[in-house]
Structure 1
Amino acid sequence: MSTAMSSRFLSRALPRHVPRPALPAAASHRCLVGLQIRFNSSSSAPSTSSEPQTTVNAIPTPVAPTPLPQKAPRNLQAFSMANKVCLVTGAARGLGNEFCKAFVESGCTDLAIVDLKEEEAQAAAEELVKQSCLDSNMDPSDYRIIGIGCDVSSEISVQQAFRRAMDTYGRIDSVVASAGIVENYSAFDYPFDRIKRLYDINVHGAFFTAREAARHMIPMGGGSVVLVASMSANIVNIPQPQTPYNAAKAAVKHMAASLAVEWAKKGVRVNCLSPGYMLTKLTRTILAHDTELKKTWESLTPMGRMGEPEDLDGAIVFLASDASRFMTGSEIRVDGGYCII
């Protein structure tokens, strides 16, 4: 077969392609609408109305994703002071007040602030509630923080303070005996009435507080008692003379160990916290007029500085909480290394 013949044969055998005429604009629009309705599963059947059809949007409306729950890291619950009733003596100011703040920051909402003057103790309680509600979703009604007046050197006064706390809360879980004073006299010049007053507050007050705490804790299954001593229970401070104070704090340290043994099987733990030189508000005022003494204290401390009250927060919460549940008769020194040299 020649090339020309094969070309004519193929041209006759295959139908010629005839282009379809373009649809009018209106017809094209109706076809597009029909296709959109047909393939949009969320649409209803097309309307038979003669009214002009509106275009159906085949693209679904974006839906905001459900936010994932905020991640919360685990916390060791044994350190929590939530649901614990606490009582702190000498708590209207100074280290005792710092201990109260630490307890509240660790979840405590039931707290008795005990100090010599009830109006000062109550003012400290109100201020603590106010500060605790700042930048928080807590309300003042969520706290039961009270102020109680008490002279810890009087056994009767201590008993009355605990009775008021029990009437308010029904139980007491953690007690800190923080009330104490310090004075600096040389041994030859120390007045006897001042020595007696120091021992009545620092030693007898700690004993009365611990004993009343145990009396109320034992029927409830136990609790934690923390006696606040000092690094002065272990070393002799220089250059200031303070023999009765040092001896009193050594007595408090050994008192904690002795009571711990006596009450160990009754569920009451007794431990001792011994701070070093701490920059309380009162200490700052004193050192503002004696900068050389501050330099001396800092030079004798291996860390080269005095402690801030907040440096004791972790230790006091540890001793008062269930985190130290197998610890009794022990001392924790927070002194910047003072006692190791």
Structure 2
Amino acid sequence: MSPVLLEDPQAKTAPAVETKPQYSLDTVPNMLSLRGKTIAITGGARGLGMAVAYAVVESGGHVACLDLLPAPSESEWAGLQKLCKPRNLTATYAKCDVTSEAEMEEVINAIEQNGIENGAPFYDMVACAGIQQKVPALDYNSQDFERILRVNVTGAFITAKWTARKLVEKRRPGSIVLIASMSGNIANRGLTCSAYNSSKSAVQQMCRSLAQEWGQYGIRINTLSPGYIRTDMTNQLLAAEPEVEKIWMAGALLGRLATPDEFKAPAIFLLSEGSSFMTGADLRVDGGHCASA
């Protein structure tokens, strides 16, 4: 609740008036623009990360895609380069292991240097890298469980940390978006993925903790929690286990699963000045699954 200022009847001057940023002077398209910025995306070789890369370019930003794969999806990358050319923007790709402190530090330094050369400094990061594994809990090997946590939680932390260190070093505000999941809030019916669900819940809590520390530097950090997304990987799972699709669709309040493109606008909102007073929050885009759980 905003503070209420009461007039002092003994005062000789008018009471102070609380002020706020004059965003009314700007337009929504400008507030959602990423012009003059470079945005990095881990897990950017394909899938959701690649969809967000397209969104960044469509919003006027330069994009740096990072992934453990040696090269991005050939067809999607060609389309991204075609999108960049008429806009005079750049899309770069680098192989990077998000669980390696040394590799992340090196790649962030390179992205910063390229950004300066392009007149678009490094401001924002989307931590999209993650892995999944479907194993009954009674049979889960502890080393496999730890591997999920290492990539999904520690990798997200390392990504966020080196992004924040660069922004603090340059005295530059910025936005960090951690891709979590609705699975951080619920247990997925029809799936045995205790490690993945635990990791995404941890990412949501880590976001809140980092927001508490980094707000003093003007760094915002939020999570984006998708629901079920129809991709090649999920299509293979559902084809092999039709009963799982029936379970998922029973909780699909919109009668369908999501497509990667449906997370482009939410991601841009969290990266841009459109969400300038938002930090430590989770934006869940799940088609109503949690509402019906």
Q: TM-score range by the shorter chain?
A: 0.7 to 0.9
User: Residue 192 of structure 1 corresponds to which residue in structure 2?
Assistant: 142
Distance (Å, rounded) in 2 between the aligned partners of 1:123 and 1:258 = 38
Shift of 1:119: 2.6
Give the alignment of 1:1-341 within 5 angstroms: 76-108=29-61, 110-120=62-72, 125-133=77-85, 138=86, 142-170=88-116, 171-218=121-168, 219-341=170-292
Greater relative contact order structure (CA < 8 Å, 6+ sep): 2
Task: Report the CA distance shift for 1:120/1:311 in structure 2 as closer, same or farther (over 3 A).
Answer: closer
Determine if contact 1:122/1:148 at 8 Å carries over to the other structure. no
Shift of 1:122: 8.5
Tell which deviates more after alignment, 288-297 or 220-229. Answer: 288-297
Shift of 1:201: 0.7
Determine if contact 1:180/1:202 at 8 Å carries over to the other structure. yes
- Give the aligned length: 261
Determine if contact 2:134/2:191 at 8 Å carries over to the other structure. yes
Determine if contact 1:122/1:146 at 8 Å carries over to the other structure. no
User: Residue 10 of structure 1 corresponds to which residue in structure 2?
Assistant: none
Distance (Å, rounded) in 2 between the aligned partners of 1:144 and 1:191 = 43
Q: How many percent of aligned residue pairs carry the same amino acid?
A: 37
Shift of 1:290: 2.7
Distance (Å, rounded) in 2 between the aligned partners of 1:103 and 1:283 = 25
Distance (Å, rounded) in 1 between the aligned partners of 2:238 and 2:97 = 28
Determine if contact 2:57/2:89 at 8 Å carries over to the other structure. no
Distance (Å, rounded) in 1 between the aligned partners of 2:248 and 2:75 = 33
User: Residue 13 of structure 2 corresponds to which residue in structure 1?
Assistant: none
Structure 2 unaligned spans of 5+ = 1-26
3-state SS, counterpart of residue 114 of structure 2: helix
Structure 1 unaligned spans of 5+ = 1-73
3-state SS, counterpart of residue 119 of structure 1: coil
Task: Report the CA distance shift for 1:280/1:121 in structure 2 as closer, same or farther (over 3 A).
Answer: closer
Determine if contact 1:112/1:165 at 8 Å carries over to the other structure. yes
Amino acid at match of 1:216: K
Task: Report the CA distance shift for 1:189/1:211 in structure 2 as closer, same or farther (over 3 A).
Answer: same
3-state SS, counterpart of residue 293 of structure 1: helix
3-state SS, counterpart of residue 257 of structure 2: coil
Question: RMSD value over aligned CA atoms?
Answer: 1.8
